[in-house]
Amino acid sequence: MKYKYILKKVIGVFLIINGELILVFYLANVTAPNPAAVWAGPEASPAQVQLVTQLYHLDSPWYVQLYYYMINFYTGNWGISPVYQTPVISLIEQYLPITLQLAIIALILKLILEIPLGVISALRPNGFADNMIKVSYTIARSFPSFLIAIALLFAFSYILHILPSSYPIDPIIALNERKFGITIGENTYNIWLIDNMPILNSILTLDLNAFISSIAHTILPSLSLVLFGFGGIVRLVRNTMVEVLQMDFIKTARSKGLKERSVIMRHALKNSLLPIITISAIIFSGLMQGSLIVETIFNYYGLGYYLAQSILNFDTPSIIAGTVIITAIVLMSNLVADILYTYSDPRVREAI
């Protein structure tokens, strides 16, 4: 039964992605007065506009255009960026891994910081520690996201001078950075996802200088993302643990003489972490979307920075591809959360 549930979820994700593709097609190809000029860019010559018209069948009926549009998307032909004069898929391969790296690090940091705070709050509800934690995350959530990033940049880069202000890695170190590859026979194969993740690549190649540099350049952007919406996990862990601590099995564990630390960590916390699986996927989705602001402020050359520049330069093929990719990642993260929740919670397994 659970396999049918997973299959249903996968089909739902596929249908939503296709629905977005159709919507994007409509906005870019139907509502635009001259879609060929939109795809070619504002600086395109009449000859270039004509070339784009023929290349993407924009002089055909709308249903023929939609057919080729869908085929091109699933075969990786996402057009040529009029700004970079490069295939959009190549640009996505370059920028996407950096954003994934940033979002993953920010999510890990959020979990490391917020879960313990939620546990501390739950031990003495409405006590001094609980109230101070509430005040802290309320203050953090009250500031606009861009203001937090600018404040961190100003404080740690321009006043204290202890952290770099831009780039995923020092450009000079990046020039000599070794790339991870898998050697089969006489050939070495590079993996684009690893090559464009400076931290992971430096770990796999044992490049200490590149690792230190990439970590230093990632601290401020990731910390900015951590502070966006800070407190959501704290509240969830706190409220869940307060409820769990009142349950009979916790009272039984205490009556057996188990140490309080064991009761909290092995019994209460374990049963309080199940909702974190679902909310982590939602938070990861928010981090991917929040990267648009953070990467622009820190010149952190990820997908968010690429999309921001594409919007400023009216790079329509890049905007369309980037939007669809982010949506697909959001949907896939929610799908993974649903699957993990199905396997981790017996009540969900029985319900389906």
Tell how far CA 18 is from the center of its chain.
21
Is the pLDDT at 328 greater than 70, yes or no? Answer: yes
pLDDT, residue 126, reads 84
β-bridge partners, 183: 188
pLDDT tens-digit readout, 19-59 = 888 888 787 766 666 777 777 777 778 888 888 888 878 78
pLDDT band at 351 (very low <50, low <70, confident <90, very high): low
Separation CA 217–CA 104 (nearest Å): 15
pLDDT over 80 (residue 263): no
CB distance 88 to 318 below 8 Å: yes
Please enumerate, as own/partner, the contacts of 334-338 that have beta carbons within 8 Å and a separation of 24 or more: 334/281, 334/282, 334/285, 335/9, 335/10, 335/13, 336/281, 337/277, 337/278, 337/280, 337/281, 337/282, 338/6, 338/9, 338/278
- In this prediction, residue 98 carries a pLDDT of 93
Give the C-alpha separation, 233 to 282, whole Å.
11
CA pair distance 168, 197, nearest whole angstrom = 9
Joined tokens for residue 341: 């929740």
Domains by residue range for the chain, with CATH? 2-88 (no CATH), 89-351 (1.10.3720.10)
Check residue 346 and give its pLDDT.
58
Find, among 329, 333, 325, 327, the residue nearest to 306 by Cα.
325
350 has a pLDDT exceeding 60: no
pLDDT given for residue 101 in this prediction: 92
Separation of alpha carbons 55 and 65, rounded Å: 11
User: What is the mean predicted confidence (pLDDT) over 252-260?
Assistant: 75
Residue whose C-alpha is closest to residue 277's, from 232, 341, 329: 341
On average, the pLDDT of the chain sits at 83
Range with the largest mean pLDDT of 140-144, 220-224, 259-263: 220-224
* Phi, psi (degrees; rounded to nearest 5) at 300: -90, 105
> 201 with 232: CB under 8 angstroms?
no
Spatial CA neighbour of 152 closest among 165, 141, 143, 142: 165
> What is the reported pLDDT for 25?
78
CA distance 175 to 169: 10
The model carries a pTM of: 0.84
> For position 336, what pLDDT does the model report?
81
Those residues whose C-beta lies under 8 Å from the C-beta of residue 205, and which sit 6 or more positions away, are 177, 178, 179, 180
pLDDT of residue 141: 80
In the prediction, which pLDDT does 31 show? 63
Q: pLDDT tens for residues 111-157? A: 999 988 988 888 888 888 888 988 888 888 888 878 888 999 999 99
Res 302 pLDDT > 80: yes
The residue count of the chain comes to 352
pLDDT at 345: 60
